[in-house]
Amino acid sequence: MDRTFLTPGNLYARLSAEFRMLRPDSCTSCSVPLPLVVERASPDFANWELGAVPQVCEACRATIDEVVGRALEHYDVHDPTVSPARRRH
């Protein structure tokens, strides 16, 4: 699958912007964690995952999962200054 390459900062900006548009109006404290460059598990997997998700409400957790699920299909991270970390999952 062809993915668009983004810097970690640009990917984070996209994830955060989409999350802010979709999160419940009543919630202003939850946020998306930073994406981390990881070893690609297979050619079909993205080369990033989210860092540790902070304490978030249930509605926001579902929204983060939705936003990240879509992004994993469309984006890879390009950062020549970082060595990929091992996947947590």
Q: What is the pLDDT of residues 23-45, one digit of tens each?
A: 988 888 899 999 999 998 888 89
Q: What is the pLDDT of residues 33-78, one digit of tens each?
A: 999 999 988 888 999 999 887 788 888 999 999 999 999 999 999 9
In a domain, 15, yes or no: yes
In a domain, 88, yes or no: no
How many structural domains are present in the chain? 1
Assign 4 a pLDDT band (cuts: 50, 70, 90): very high
In a domain, 86, yes or no: no
Domain that holds residue 52: 4-77
- Supply the pTM of this predicted model: 0.86
In a domain, 44, yes or no: yes
CB < 8 Å & 24+ apart, contacts of 56-63: 56/30, 56/31, 57/24, 57/27, 57/30, 59/23, 59/24, 59/27, 60/19, 60/23, 60/24, 60/27, 60/30, 63/19, 63/22, 63/23, 63/24
